[in-house]
Amino acid sequence: MPPPVPAVSPRLRSRLRTLARTQPRAVERTYDTLLSLEGYSVLSAAARKDIFSSITFSAGLWFQCLLDGAPPGPDVMDQIAAFARRRVHQNVPLRSLLRAFRLGARELWRTCTELAEAEPALAHELLFDISPYLLDYFDAMAEHIAEAYLDEQHQQARWRGSLLQQLYDLVFHAPDDAARFRETVEALGLDATLPRIALAVDLDLRDHAPSVREDALDRFALGAARHFDSKPDALVRVWHRERLVFWLPCVRGDSMTRNDQRVAEQAAALARAEPRVRSIGIGLMNEGAHGWAASVEEALKAVDFAPRGSGADDDSESGSEAGNMVRVHRFSSIAIEESVRSSANVLRYLVSLAEQLATEADLLATLETWFASGQRRRQTAQALGVHPNTLDYRLERIETLLGAKLDNAHWIARLDIALKLRGATQGSERDARKKEKGRVAAKKAKRAAR
């Protein structure tokens, strides 16, 4: 609560009553100054009007307390707290709000000093009675405002967390409920019609205990928002299938290709800056609950089916951090393979091509190296360490076994996809075996502990 109000002499009371009626100058000076503060400078016209009204009310309240000889009552203090709560929803930082209060106090004291200069007989009372009260009054008000602000911020965080959980449930478990999806997205202050791209980030959090992992994810999300030129609240995230998933807002009007390229470049910069990032998968631009879910699946596939231990290709961004290769994988680079996977017969046919070559030593490695070398024979022979004639024999043997023509674009395309599918399948199988070994080892350790 504000401190006790000092008694005011009749002469000063008369001057304060006049100032209370003519205090718009102090209000306008305060208003003009705080519009340069963080949070205030980007407010809407309606919010600025609310700010001006709040300053006017606060200045009038101080004069009224001096004239009445009593601090503000509970109803008035509730009204002051309501100002603070509104600033939370207007995205005004607390430090800016408190700075605004200090500016207001300074302007009111400036008004008092101008009065003292005009009437020196009042200087002693203004300096020794009114000045300490003004400082104590605004300290008490700042404390009251900070408490209300932080309480509202806490309530908002809980409310936002509840809405986000509802959003995740809709995307992953009830994507057909378009109306609730739109309502939930809009309740979060987001545009439900804006397309988004999902990112699946494989993070190394082994040295973070579960109790502090959420804080680590919050800090990472703030850094990610800077790299993606996005406000933190616009970067919707969830921990899903052992990956940190982001839904990034796209640039409205840009094509899928341009958004895909832009996000890939930003993701590569994020991966280089954050040593905990092992890999990042990027889905395709989409919208609506079904679209958000589909983009997540694509981003996860881009990570899971990425080639193991290979260098960056034309559709990947790479960087080196302390000697560790970090890769960004786009679903767009494996879209054709994924289309093939949806057809069981086509998939079996392409896989069989690679399996047929695997029956003879060196043929599969030769074809993989030939593709990796850009289908250039001299570079392929050098990479394999064989004579060009040996390479020619192997390539002819491949054509004979498969009935293929390695100078035919259609055969080149299908063999390239067949090798990629085989590599992805082998990588998934290795991962599955590794996880299974880990589960078995954990069970043995648990039995041994008993």
pLDDT in tens, 36-80: 888 898 888 888 999 999 999 998 998 999 999 999 999 999 999
Q: What pLDDT score was predicted for residue 89?
A: 82
Domains recognised in the chain with CATH numbers: 10-158 (1.10.490), 188-334 (3.30.70), 344-449 (1.10.10.2840)
**How far apart (Å, rounded) are the C-alpha atoms in residues 55 and 31?**
7
pLDDT of res. 3? 79
Q: Which residues, in sequence order, are CB contacts of 301 under 8 Å at separation 6+?
A: 281, 331, 334, 338
Q: Give the count of beta carbons closer than 10 Å to the beta carbon of residue 10.
A: 6
Position 416 scores a pLDDT of 85
Amino acid type, 266: Q
Residues with Cβ within 8 Å of 244's Cβ and at least 6 positions away in sequence, in order, are 200, 201, 203, 217, 220, 237, 238
In the beta sheet, which residues pair with residue 202?
279
> What is the predicted pLDDT for the residue at 432?
54
Contact of 392 with 406, CB cutoff 8 Å = no
Intervals of the chain under pLDDT 50 = 308-325
Cβ-in-10-Å burial (0-12, 13-18, 19+) of 372 comes to middle
Q: Phi, psi at residue 251, to the nearest 5°?
A: -85, 115
| AA identity, residue 260 | D
pTM over 0.95: no
Q: What is the side-by-side strand order in the sheet with 277-282?
A: 236-240, 243-249, 196-203, 277-282, 324-330, 317-321
CA 315 from centroid of its chain's CA atoms: 24
* DSSP alpha helix (H) spans, 174-237: 178-187, 210-227
Q: At what angle do helices 409-449 and 344-358 cross, to 10 degrees?
A: 90
> Do 103 and 28 meet the contact criterion of CB atoms below 8 Å apart?
no
Strands, DSSP E only, in 172-323? 196-203, 236-240, 243-249, 277-282, 317-321
Task: Kindly give, in sequence order, each residue whose CB lies less than 8 Å from that of residue 162, ignoring residues fewer than 6 positions away.
Answer: none
| pLDDT at res. 306 | 66
User: For residue 330, what are the β-bridge partners?
Assistant: 282
> What integer pLDDT is reported at residue 23 of this predicted model?
66
Query: CB-hemisphere CA count at 13 Å for 439?
Result: 6
